[in-house]
Amino acid sequence: MFNMLYAQIGAIVMIAMCIFAFLKGGDVERIGAGAYLLAWFASILVQGDTATAAIPYGMFLIDLMTLVVFVALSWRYRRTWPVWAAGLQLMTVMSHLLIMTDARLPITSLYTVMNLVSYLTIGCIAVGTFWAWQERRAAGLE
């Protein structure tokens, strides 16, 4: 997985975002970043060198659980970024469902959607962390 440059850049951005969320974010951002980081590590573990025609049920379950976490965060807390992250994660889950239903789409386009959506989800968590950090600074708590 890390033999391509974009995967290495994505890993660096992901780890940097999680460090930023854990250091400067509130509880919501820490939970979201932790869940996303856990899903990222779990997806590395279940990802194999299978052919692109194989149906990745393990990846589907990981993405579905991540969707549940983001929906729960958006339900429980009054922040906007979990809603955006849940919507993006729903696109990933729907891409998995399209693969499972054998839709007549090029499978590489669905994998491209999943990868691009993951970068946007990282962006949502980073923006939410920045907003939480700025709110605490404006309130004089930091």
pTM check: above 0.85: yes
What value does the mean pLDDT take over residues 16-39? 94
Helix (H, G, I), strand (E, B) or coil at 22: helix
> 99-119: per-residue pLDDT in tens?
888 778 787 888 888 888 989
The 10s digit of each residue's pLDDT in 7-17 is 788 889 899 99
Q: Which pLDDT value is given to residue 53?
A: 53
Angle between helices 27-46 and 5-24 (to 10 degrees): 150
Return the structure tokens found at 93: 């889950």
* 131, two tokens: 């907003």
Nearest-5° angle of CA 130, CA 122, CA 14? 100
- Residue 9's identity, in one-letter code, is I
Own/partner contacts of 134-142, CB < 8 Å, gap of 24 or more, are 136/26
**Helix or strand run (H / E) with residue 15:** helix 5-24
